[in-house]
Amino acid sequence: MSNIEQKLTRQQKEAIGLLSIGTFLEYFDLMLYVHMAVLLNELFFPKTDPFTASLLSAFAFCSIFVFRPIGAIIFGYIGDNIGRKATIVITTFLMSISCVILASLPTYAEIGIAATWLITMCRLLQGMSSMGEIVGAEIYLTEITKPPLQYPVVMIIAIASILGGTFALAVASLSTSLGFNWRIAFWIGAGIALIGAVARTTLRETIDFADAKRKIKLSLNKNKIDTSKLPDNQIYQEKTKNLTLLSLFFIQCGWPTCFYITYIHCGNILRNAFGYTPDQVIHQNFKVSIIALTGYVIITFLSYKIHPLKILKTKALMFIPFAAITPYLLNNMTSPSQLFAIQSFFVLFVLSTNPATPVFYTHIPVFKRFTSGAFIYAISRAIMYIITSFGLVYLIKYLGNWGILLILLPMSICFTYGVGHFTKLEKEAKNIH
């Protein structure tokens, strides 16, 4: 890491620090509820039979992501027309507000079904703000650095998000095992997020975005053209090929599928098959998150030496055969430790954009980058979380664990196709040999 730091300017280091800390806090706030759902759903949702409870749990989980595409359009417009910095600051403030609501919200026992609706609305706000946060941070760092340094630098944001989720699991574990008040955690998250938002106001606009606007304005002024016609400029109107956007969508579908199966579905198996209590489920998921964090750190170092798309290809080659035998392994496991091994494999070889995220963004025009990137990020997660969460409820009911293949295999094939498309683009640009 020292070699990387020596090549970073002071301004770049400050940006990395502010953005990574902010991402950590945002994902701590976001994932705290996700990982404590086994406990909090009992506080904010009515008690029902196990099957209906599974549907309510899926609904609570998906509520984070359903309205993300709307947030993507809103924050994408701000990011591409006003600037990357404005979006990052706004989303951090929104996350702080949602944490205040969560920390002070009465439970179902106190106000009835109103608690269910309010917690769902609060989760919608969190989901929208977190989407703008991580995409904004990744694009910001993509635009202030160059390859190969660019790849591990942007991976720091991914590590920060994983670390935020891991810390959320640690707090959740303390809350359930030691009686630690979960509301305090949300109050702390809200306060720190507010401080982070204020600190982020010191960020400068990215060079790519600011320079592109400056060049267009200079060109218009030189030719004595009204700058109000700036949006009509050819650079502004540059479009991304639909196949490129579709390929990015295919790649983005990998993470939500793997995440849900690893933490939520396997958590349900621990409860139903092995009689685990909520705190035991959270504790095992915490150990899995440590494995995930370790894997991300390793990939960060590898991305400085190996082209990220080659890393994604290798992960896909390892993941697909394992996914094919996962139902058999789930049907024949006899202990929680065997399930832990399955979870660990999924997080180590998870199909996601990392560490190739900067590669994908650089193939999208600068004035379409935030809107396109954010919308694809949001819509992929909304679709895949709905398919995975609600789909597995019925697939497992009628097909058993073999039903997982109806989700995993198509997703894996599409992911591989998407990586192949961007590999072709990188070869054409002579960025990969």
Q: Is the dihedral of CA 406, 407, 412, 418 positive or negative?
A: positive
Determine, yes or no, domain membership for 2: no
- Burial (Cβ within 10 Å: 0-12, 13-18, ≥19) of residue 244: middle
Residue 225: pLDDT band by 50, 70, 90 thresholds?
very low
Q: What is the pTM of this model?
A: 0.79
Q: What is the pLDDT of residues 96-132, one digit of tens each?
A: 777 788 788 888 888 888 888 888 788 777 777 766 6
Q: Which of 135, 416, 147, 153 lies closest to 307 in space, CA to CA?
A: 147
Residue 226 lies in a domain: no
Q: How many domains does the chain have?
A: 1
CA angle 99, 103, 109 (to 5 degrees): 135
**215 in a domain, yes or no?**
no
pLDDT at residue 30 greater than cutoff 80: no
Residues of the chain above pLDDT 70, percent: 78
The answer to whether the beta carbons of residues 238 and 365 sit under 8 Å apart is: yes
Residue 166 lies in a domain: yes
Segment 138-186, tens digit of pLDDT? 888 888 888 889 999 999 999 998 888 888 878 777 766 666 677 777 7
Q: 333 — alpha (psi -120 to 50), left (phi > 0) or beta?
A: beta
Under 8 Å CB-to-CB from 184, ≥6 apart: which residues? Answer: 103
Residue 333 inside a domain? The answer is yes
Whether 213 is covered by a domain: the verdict is no
Contact in structure between 33 and 95 (CB atoms under 8 Å): no
Tell me, yes or no, whether 31 lies in a domain: yes
Q: Are 296 and 158 in contact (CB under 8 A)?
A: yes
Greater pLDDT, 104 or 235:
104
Is 85 within a domain? yes
Assign residue 30 the CATH number of its domain: 1.20.1250.20
User: Residue 247 CA to chain centroid, in angstroms?
Assistant: 18
If one counts every other C-beta atom within 10 angstroms of the C-beta of residue 163, the result is 21
- Residue 9's alpha-carbon distances to 142, 149, 305, in angstroms, are 15, 12, 21
- In this predicted structure, which of 11-15, 54-58, 411-415 has the lowest mean pLDDT? 54-58
Residues 6+ apart with CB under 8 A from 415: 250, 251, 253, 254, 316, 351
Taking the C-alpha atoms of residue 353 and residue 360, their distance in angstroms, rounded to an integer, is 8
Does 28 score more than 70 pLDDT? Answer: yes
Q: What are the tokens at 110?
A: 């106190």
Tens-place pLDDT, residues 340-398: 999 999 999 999 999 999 999 999 988 788 888 888 988 898 899 889 988 888 898 89
Please say if the pLDDT value at position 229 is more than 90.
Answer: no
> Which tops the pLDDT comparison, 248 or 134?
248
Over the Cα atoms of the chain, what is R_g? 22
What is the average per-residue pLDDT within 185-204? 69
Domain range for 125: 9-205+238-428
Residue range 317-343: mean pLDDT, rounded: 95
